[in-house]
Amino acid sequence: MKIEQYDTVKLKDGRVGCVVEKFSDTDFLVDVGSSPADWDTIDVKLDQINNVVK
């Protein structure tokens, strides 16, 4: 699976987020949440991502 910065991804735990930083092909920073009031930036590994939502 090819993931780029600013892709929207669905995590295996059901959350949906936006890739805000791509460190490598397996390490990312993802913003999750439904609005700026509850956004959280988390470290995500490739194996935690279910798919890219286009």
Segment 5-24 mean pLDDT: 97
- Write down the pLDDT at residue 17: 95
Q: What is the pTM of this model?
A: 0.88
Cβ(30)–Cβ(44) under 8 Å?
Answer: yes
pLDDT in tens, 32-52: 988 888 899 999 999 999 999
CA distance to 2, 25, 45, 53, per residue, from 33 (Å): 23, 23, 18, 15
